[in-house]
Structure 1
């Protein structure tokens, strides 16, 4: 069996909820391997869900139908024998006609239900999760998203109406396809980001939302408050606070969102650096003394693992590193 056949078989089992844990992991890895694989999966799932709907809505007892038809045939044959007539050939023609008609009626019923099922795709939505690594995704309108790990975006199968609206949980870098007539709106943690065509980063964890604009202009709103952001600007909303804080300080790490293991720090406090690293590597990094938190780091890392990055930071500020289960503790005399 070739690779395509193996994937086809596994995909069918996956959609039927019959795969084991290993097979499910295989399908998940195949889906995120390429954009074509993702489109194939979305299309297959849409068809699968439609067929399931047809099966639930159109139940026909074929055996009972044919049994009834055979009884009718038998009764007509007995009448012919009693009257000593022989219209058997005509009777067979009528029976065959009824069989063909029954098949056409069944097929028409299935077609009608299927057509009704797929006639309103605007109500169908797709949910895409990034898992343990950042993944690029292209939406139906051509908008590109680089979704950070452990993040989720929900969007319609086809954008219809005045606005293009999506929902985000986590973090994503958006390169929005330009369309003056149809604004692009992101809903996340009680806030809205409205754009026409631009690129920007949205980070929304634990009700804290941050928007950083790389190109173009966006409108960032919460309740009745809103601000307009341009290139090089950012705005934040803290948890349980309605006030939007706007600033000019652009974190250059938003320019390298395509690679979750690439970082650029320019006079960043150690507190900010460890917060970014904690989010990217999903591990708690603790600074044991407050006097260390304000140490300023200027460095860049490309394709480095976390252990190497922490080692460089520790050597730069003469810190001690302590690894403790799922967290890292940094301690030392400070940078003064």
Structure 2
């Protein structure tokens, strides 16, 4: 397709005016290259601006703005990029780090907050308004303002994220992770907060502090130095601080699972985060097992087969957890 033809089709595509066959053809063209994706992205916003201008001429500006915002949040927008995700998953290698618009679900809230979601098996990357960079692991969510104001740069994380924070000593950076807060001025660190009970932070460079509630519900602060990690148990108020294996803790950012004499419980936690599954270890004697190996694009079945061969573990899927907006219902495996 030449450029004039594709521009016409893209406008009709964004306005939901194509047949199913035409829409699939356009979606495949967009997923074909980064240049195509950027062309589609630019044309989408041009089309959106044109619609806003038309609405401005026809009705009052406030109503026009409300209609454009509804358009951004519409199911049509989500269906468009959900369709691109499915096509990209077929055309590209599984678990590749996808670009922001293809791998993430983006929602603007109250004209000031942005929500980024990373779907199962995918990793998303986003640049924040202060030029800090964040990578989101599978099934994770980040909420941040379109513009940082005041004395803090505050974001909210559910799931797992790796942060490279732009240094600004006058405006501290704060990550809300469930019931904890991670404070930092300029550094690299990893935060894991998939559930309410356990929150883990690992420091790569710089200095961070975790604020948490102890067993007496008093707010406390623990500081980390590079190559340390802390685990907070919100149920008991206890914390555990130790030396970290940075390569293993942050390998997910490269789409890998790196095990280096890793205990079974931690290995299964890392696998569960990537593949959106949970494990119930029935025999507590198995917790003494450790594993070494690197996995990248292997399927969950292949990885579990490795565990079975190397240690004679057995896995049996027993059902699904109750789904919610964050987990979509994890598969549960019993481990014997």
TM-score by length of 1: 0.65
Q: Output the CA distance in 1 between the equivalents of 2:275 and 2:135.
A: 17
Q: Give the C-alpha shift of residue 217 in structure 1.
A: 0.5
Q: Give the C-alpha shift of residue 236 in structure 1.
A: 2.1
Q: Output the CA distance in 2 between the equivalents of 1:19 and 1:259.
A: 37
| CA displacement, residues 116-172 of structure 1 (integer Å, 9 cap, x when unaligned) | x9xxxx962222111221112122222111111121112222223322221112111
Q: Output the CA distance in 2 between the equivalents of 1:173 and 1:298.
A: 23
Higher relative contact order (CA 8 A, sep 6+): 2
| CA displacement, residues 266-317 of structure 1 (integer Å, 9 cap, x when unaligned) | 2222222122212211123343322222212233334333222222222221
Runs (5+) with no aligned partner, structure 1: 61-108, 332-336
| Residues 123 and 137 in structure 2, CA contact (< 8 A), matched pair in contact too | yes
Residue of structure 1 equivalent to 2:155 = 166
Higher helix share: 1
Matched, 1:194 2:183: yes
Larger mean Cα displacement after TM superposition, 44-53 or 183-192: 44-53
| Residues 261 and 292 in structure 2, CA contact (< 8 A), matched pair in contact too | yes
Q: Mark the CA change 1:7 to 1:239 in structure 2 (over 3 Å): closer, same or farther.
A: farther
TM-score by length of 2: 0.65
Q: CA RMSD in A?
A: 4.2
Match of 1:309 among 303, 311, 315: 303
Q: Output the CA distance in 2 between the equivalents of 1:235 and 1:53.
A: 52
Residue of structure 2 equivalent to 1:212 = 202
Q: Output the CA distance in 2 between the equivalents of 1:179 and 1:39.
A: 34
Q: Output the CA distance in 1 between the equivalents of 2:318 and 2:152.
A: 48
| Residues 173 and 257 in structure 1, CA contact (< 8 A), matched pair in contact too | no
| CA displacement, residues 4-37 of structure 1 (integer Å, 9 cap, x when unaligned) | 86577557765x688999969x87x969x86995
Give the length in aligned residue pairs: 273
Q: Give the C-alpha shift of residue 203 in structure 1.
A: 0.9
Matched, 1:287 2:275: no
Q: Give the C-alpha shift of residue 211 in structure 1.
A: 0.8
Q: Mark the CA change 1:158 to 1:244 in structure 2 (over 3 Å): closer, same or farther.
A: same
Q: Mark the CA change 1:189 to 1:3 in structure 2 (over 3 Å): closer, same or farther.
A: farther
Matched, 1:203 2:203: no
| CA displacement, residues 149-199 of structure 1 (integer Å, 9 cap, x when unaligned) | 121112222223322221112111111122222221111213211111111
Match of 1:142 among 131, 154, 179: 131
Runs (5+) with no aligned partner, structure 2: 69-109, 214-218, 320-330
Residue of structure 2 equivalent to 1:178 = 167
| CA displacement, residues 242-279 of structure 1 (integer Å, 9 cap, x when unaligned) | 4443332446322313233x222222222221222122
Residue of structure 2 equivalent to 1:228 = 223
Q: Output the CA distance in 1 between the equivalents of 2:36 and 2:253.
A: 19
Q: Output the CA distance in 2 between the equivalents of 1:152 and 1:140.
A: 17
